[in-house]
Homo-oligomer: A and B are copies of this chain.
Amino acid sequence: MSWNTFGRLFRFTTWGESHGPALGAVVDGCPPGLEISEEMIQPFLDARRPGQSKFTTQRNEADLVKILSGVFEGRTTGTPISLMIENTDQRSKDYSEVAKSYRPGHADYAYDAKYGFRDYRGGGRSSARETAARVAAGGVARLVIPEVRIVGYVSQIGDDRIDMANFDEAQIRANPFFCPDAEAAKRWEAIVDQARLDGSSIGAVVECVAYGVPAGWGAPLYAKLDSELAAAMMSINAVKGVEIGDGFAAATLRGEQNADAMRPGPDGRPLFEANHAGGIAGGISTGQPVVVRVAFKPTSSILIPVPTINNEGEAAEIRTKGRHDPCVGIRGVPVVEAMMALVLADQKLIDRGQVSAPRA
């Protein structure tokens, strides 16, 4: 069974495979009257677009988004918004090897175990190309939360982390790594290029901060803001870990170290002395920046041969030829940003569903 819808009030459903004619998303529950155009969504797809440097896959897709419904005279109507992106560079290469042997780390074996059957061309539905549809949906979500500014970046490749002292937001779009630390970006060129030349790949960590989220978003207990973010991020291809705020580092602290002490702020709202909590307490936003950290494993498609089995259960060895991202975490940045926007849009609408509460 598959489940391709995410969200509670602001919902999106994605469809499409790596090598089908197109992929897309249907966004349902978007409020009416918002200005929207393909031009407002395209830049997010452009940021994710493959083939922009030697550090990402050489698949060449224009990834042009078309809006097929839900918009009238340049505004959302409140009805479902159908977004479609045509696949234009799905090469008809020889998939006979992938069809027969399971690529370790990929979904190949699991899909066969589940469905008894799989579309093996380019990974089919489990290809990261699906994330183009999420990014398009995320572009719509951003229209719902104009008060929020989302900043995503790569904070680590392999075991080389950025130095927060060098953090410069302007750098993020200035290098091929979405890296806010110009010095780290230079080092990463060598690291990622070496992985690429070795026919290997390398893992990465993406951080994402949402500024401007007011206190009060989050639906306890089983649609807590952090719970929804964890689900959203863990649903992205190659993601193996999610942290909110200090995350695993918080496990090493004592209570007084982890306390985000408060002081009176100028407008009646608190000033927090720290943000160990990543902007979320009890599953509800506190008004501080919402901070998420996401671990991407190294791309499973590598040229280095790996022992595996084939469809018949016999021993085999596989090298994954073709066009791949040597560091799939890099292009994960626009996807993480999109999932952040999608979760926040949903929580904002859920929150508006309240009718009688006086607000702090």
Question: What residues on B are CB-neighbors of A215 within 8 Å?
Answer: 109-110, 113-114
A246: which of B82, B240, B301 is its contact (CB, 8 Å)? B240
Cβ-defined contact, A307 with B205, below 8 A: no
State whether A79 and B17 are in contact (beta carbons under 8 Å apart), knowing that A115-B33, A195-B254 are contacts in the complex: yes
State whether A251 and B105 are in contact (beta carbons under 8 Å apart), knowing that A1-B349, A309-B262 are contacts in the complex: no
State whether A281 and B110 are in contact (beta carbons under 8 Å apart), knowing that A3-B8, A69-B15, A242-B234 are contacts in the complex: yes
CB distance from A114 to the nearest CB of B (A): 4
Question: What residues on B are CB-neighbors of A255 within 8 Å?
Answer: 105, 195, 200-202, 298-302, 304
Cβ-defined contact, B220 with A125, below 8 A: yes
CB distance from A246 to the nearest CB of B (A): 6
Question: What residues on B are CB-neighbors of A230 within 8 Å?
Answer: 230-231, 233-234, 242
Chain B residue with Cβ nearest A22: B68
Cβ-defined contact, A220 with B264, below 8 A: no
A250: which of B203, B261, B287 is its contact (CB, 8 Å)? B203
Cβ-defined contact, B119 with A314, below 8 A: no
> How far is it, in angstroms, between the C-alpha of A14 and the C-alpha of B81 when the chains are bound?
10
Cβ-defined contact, A259 with B31, below 8 A: no
Cβ-defined contact, B14 with A313, below 8 A: no
A342-358 CB mask vs B (1 if < 8 Å, else 0) is 00000011111111111
Question: What residues on B are CB-neighbors of A72 within 8 Å?
Answer: 17, 117-119, 121, 124
Question: What residues on B are CB-neighbors of A354 within 8 Å?
Answer: 1, 31-32, 78, 115, 349, 352
Cβ-defined contact, A9 with B70, below 8 A: no
Question: What residues on B are CB-neighbors of A92 within 8 Å?
Answer: none
23 pairs across A/B with beta carbons < 8 Å? A5-B11, A9-B9, A15-B69, A16-B69, A26-B26, A32-B116, A33-B356, A78-B354, A80-B125, A110-B215, A113-B359, A114-B216, A115-B354, A116-B357, A158-B254, A222-B231, A227-B232, A228-B231, A241-B248, A243-B248, A248-B295, A251-B295, A352-B353
Of all A-B residue pairs in the complex, the 6 with the closest CB atoms, nearest first, are A107-B282, A113-B215, A110-B284, A241-B247, A3-B223, A231-B231
Cβ-defined contact, A307 with B273, below 8 A: yes
Question: What residues on B are CB-neighbors of A285 within 8 Å?
Answer: 110, 113
Cβ-defined contact, B227 with A259, below 8 A: no
Cβ-defined contact, B241 with A243, below 8 A: yes
> How far is it, in angstroms, between the C-alpha of A144 and the C-alpha of B23 when the chains are bound?
24
Cβ-defined contact, A240 with B245, below 8 A: yes
Question: What residues on B are CB-neighbors of A201 within 8 Å?
Answer: 254-255
Chain B residue with Cβ nearest A25: B26
CB distance from A182 to the nearest CB of B (A): 21
Cβ-defined contact, B130 with A221, below 8 A: yes
State whether A125 and B297 are in contact (beta carbons under 8 Å apart), knowing that A32-B354, A241-B244, A353-B9 are contacts in the complex: no
State whether A297 and B203 are in contact (beta carbons under 8 Å apart), knowing that A281-B107, A354-B352 are contacts in the complex: no
Chain B residue with Cβ nearest A345: B355
Q: A20-B69, A230-B233, A348-B355 are in contact. List 13 more A-B contacts (CB 8 A).
A: A1-B31, A4-B80, A15-B68, A16-B68, A31-B355, A33-B358, A69-B125, A109-B270, A110-B284, A113-B284, A195-B254, A250-B295, A253-B298
Chain B residue with Cβ nearest A103: B259
> How far is it, in angstroms, between the C-alpha of A178 and the C-alpha of B32 when the chains are bound?
39
CB distance from A243 to the nearest CB of B (A): 4
Chain B residue with Cβ nearest A206: B251
